[in-house]
Amino acid sequence: MIACEVMQEEIEKLMPIPERDFEFVSMDFHLYPQKLKVELQRLIDASQNYQKIILAFGLCGGASNGLISKASELIIPRVHDCISIFMCSDTCRACDFQSEIGTFYLSNGWMITKKSILADYRRIYDRLGEKKAKRMLEKMYDGYKKVLFIETSAEPKDEVIEQSREIAKLFEAEYQTVKGEIGFIEKIITGPWDEDNFITLLPRQEISEAYFSKNARRA
């Protein structure tokens, strides 16, 4: 299973999981879909000795579009990003979830990785000062009116909650928390990989962006 680092804590809560090997992909790729695509394809190519390869990713800005496995079956959730994965239970249709326009979503895993808005802001602040740091932040994240922190079964530390509140202050945005789910993450790992929620591809079938539509069916 190849998973985003953002859900590593949630996955580790479910361990040990028999007959599963895990590879976690750094959040450093998060802002660069083409680089993420290259890394995912590299990991897929290196995992051809497995019968099935499960990708704990969504379309992710097009990063999954065009991925292919030569010898192994490929399974990927029918979602656009990890927000749906964190917000859906094992019984709902994840592709039906619609994120709110103008809302910036955060989770425990996203906050504890090396790359975060706060870390970037502090680096710019130390180098260029507060005024320029705020100006660059406004350019990058203009339009967000709310910061929503998703609480999953991975208990967030007080400092993580405080940091997420600090991001809302920097955005001059409303701050809310919402209870997330871990059921869909467990379903990604163990199945069943139903047609409504997952794309299953035979060897040498490419992932297509069209497959992520909620009206799409098995590739």
Domain ranges of the chain: 2-212
Neighbours of 147 (CB within 10 A): 24
- Beta partners for 199? 76
What are the start-end ranges of the H helices in 15-77? 33-45
**CA 181 to CA 175: how far, in whole Å?**
19
* 124 contacts 152 by C-beta, under 8 angstroms: no
Contacts of 204-208 with CB under 8 Å at 24 or more apart are 204/68, 204/69, 204/70, 205/68, 205/74, 206/66, 206/67, 206/68, 207/64, 207/65, 207/66, 207/67, 207/68, 207/74, 207/76, 208/65, 208/66
pLDDT digits (tens, 9 = 90+) for 192-209: 999 989 999 999 999 999
pLDDT digits (tens, 9 = 90+) for 66-123: 999 999 999 999 998 888 899 877 666 655 566 788 999 998 888 876 567 888 888 8
